[in-house]
């Protein structure tokens, strides 16, 4: 039995796997949990991140407005399923005014480390790069220096220091819709200066695992387990009709996370339901957060659907680790 190394989470969102369902990850019956018009100004709410907070949950949500301006908004929930999202985007303070200038913000991740909640997101600064900020209370938000030069996306922190340094996965990219992309690991003593970059894993060229042949990117904050870091990530295939986003999982070495122990050949979740198939960008499932309970091994995955709404799906650490090991490339 694989074990989560972390906190016990009381009353986390959960549904048992439906009888007869074969896959390692199953959807919440009430999906989508957040609709496109969850706040008055929104065109779509998707690719969003949540964490346990107080006696409930807090989150940072990607809301594209009816002007189709991309920004991030705080929200709160008692049960992790029903959310109240603020009507105004987050206002950051603190950083150098040059860095505080907003171009666009999207695809947030949230990671509790030591005493605060760090937020990373895709931040427009002469092209996309990784924005970094933090909050203690989801009311006041401090922005730090961007982690990297443009162009980069999918910056995902690890939930503790590794070998004495903060650690982040990211995906160097381009100014457009990036027809390539591999996952790298970077280290920092202070969350400002990043270096000691290591290659983690790349696209899979060839027919054996074509769903991840165009680009890949880290999803939720990696989950610490007794088998290594459990990483849930997205993989993209370019078809004659555009890009298709699916979800896979990998197990990374606990002390040297750039060493990949296992990585799924098959996807673990793919666009199948209508709300994943049809939307502003069809055929996209894009995970940005997971809540995991060390006591029961339950994992709840939050993912964007068709760049329009937000879905919830479930697995257990035991099931996903077993699946990843038994179906590894």
* Footprint on this chain of ligand BMA (rule: CB under 6 A): 47, 106-107, 177, 245, 281, 284, 286, 304, 307
In degrees rounded to 5, what are phi and psi of residue 98? -60, -40
In whole angstroms, the minimum distance from the beta carbon of 14 to ligand BMA comes to 26
Encoding tokens for residue 174? 């381009």
In degrees rounded to 5, what are phi and psi of residue 195? -165, -155
d(CA 234, CA 244): 10
d(CA 167, CA 184): 10
Q: Positive or negative CA dihedral for 141, 146, 147, 150?
A: positive
Which one, 91 or 177, has the nearer CB to ligand BMA?
A: 177
Which one, 78 or 177, has the nearer CB to ligand BMA?
A: 177
In whole angstroms, the minimum distance from the beta carbon of 181 to ligand BMA comes to 9
Q: Are 63 and 49 in contact (CB under 8 A)?
A: no
- Among 199, 268, 214, 221, CA closest to 4: 221
Q: Are 1 and 296 in contact (CB under 8 A)?
A: no
Which one, 178 or 292, has the nearer CB to ligand BMA?
A: 178
In whole angstroms, the minimum distance from the beta carbon of 106 to ligand BMA comes to 6
d(CA 73, CA 59): 8
In whole angstroms, the minimum distance from the beta carbon of 185 to ligand BMA comes to 21
Which one, 21 or 180, has the nearer CB to ligand BMA?
A: 180
Which one, 12 or 85, has the nearer CB to ligand BMA?
A: 85
- Among 287, 303, 296, CA closest to 12: 296
Tokens 């894993």 correspond to: 201
Which one, 184 or 286, has the nearer CB to ligand BMA?
A: 286
d(CA 60, CA 48): 6
In whole angstroms, the minimum distance from the beta carbon of 115 to ligand BMA comes to 30
Which one, 70 or 132, has the nearer CB to ligand BMA?
A: 70
Which one, 214 or 315, has the nearer CB to ligand BMA?
A: 214
In whole angstroms, the minimum distance from the beta carbon of 255 to ligand BMA comes to 31
In whole angstroms, the minimum distance from the beta carbon of 129 to ligand BMA comes to 14
Burial call 141-174: b when 16+ CB within 10 Å, e when fewer: bebbbbbbebbbbbbbbbbeebeebbbbbbbbbe
Q: Residue with CB nearest ligand BMA?
A: 281
Tokens 């903060």 correspond to: 166
> Which residues is 260 bridged to in the sheet?
252
In whole angstroms, the minimum distance from the beta carbon of 17 to ligand BMA comes to 26
Q: Are 106 and 72 in contact (CB under 8 A)?
A: yes
């Amino acid at each position: 039995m694989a074990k989560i190394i972390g906190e016990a989470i009381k009353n986390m969102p959960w549904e048992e796997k439906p009888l007869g369902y074969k896959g390692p990850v199953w959807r919440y019956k009430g999906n989508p949990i957040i609709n496109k018009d969850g706040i008055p100004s929104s065109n779509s709410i998707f690719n969003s991140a949540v964490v346990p907070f107080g006696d409930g949950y807090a989150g940072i949500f990607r809301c594209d407005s009816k002007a189709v301006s991309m920004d991030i908004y705080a929200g709160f929930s008692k049960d992790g399923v029903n959310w109240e999202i603020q009507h105004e985007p987050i206002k950051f303070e603190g950083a150098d005014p040059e860095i505080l200038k907003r171009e666009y913000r999207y695809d947030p991740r949230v990671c509790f480390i030591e005493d605060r909640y760090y937020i990373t997101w895709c931040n427009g600064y002469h092209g996309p790069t990784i924005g970094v900020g933090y909050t203690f209370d989801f009311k006041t938000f401090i922005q730090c220096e961007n982690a990297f030069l443009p162009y980069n996306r999918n910056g995902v922190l690890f939930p503790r220091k590794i070998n004495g340094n903060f650690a982040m996965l990211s995906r160097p990219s381009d100014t457009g819709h990036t027809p390539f992309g591999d996952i790298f690991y970077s280290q920092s003593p202070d969350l400002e200066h990043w270096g000691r970059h290591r290659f983690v894993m790349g696209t899979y060229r060839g027919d054996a695992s074509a769903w991840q042949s165009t680009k890949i990117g880290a999803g939720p904050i990696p989950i610490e387990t007794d088998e290594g870091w459990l990483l849930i990530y997205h993989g993209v295939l370019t078809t004659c009709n555009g890009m298709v986003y699916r979800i896979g999982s990998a197990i990374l070495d606990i002390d040297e996370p750039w060493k990949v122990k296992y990585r799924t050949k098959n996807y673990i979740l793919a666009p199948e339901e209508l709300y994943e198939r049809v939307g502003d960008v069809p055929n996209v499932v894009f995970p940005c957060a997971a809540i995991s309970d060390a006591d029961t091994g339950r994992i709840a995955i939050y993912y964007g659907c068709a760049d329009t709404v937000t879905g919830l799906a479930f697995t257990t650490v035991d099931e996903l680790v077993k699946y990843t090991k038994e179906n590894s490339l």
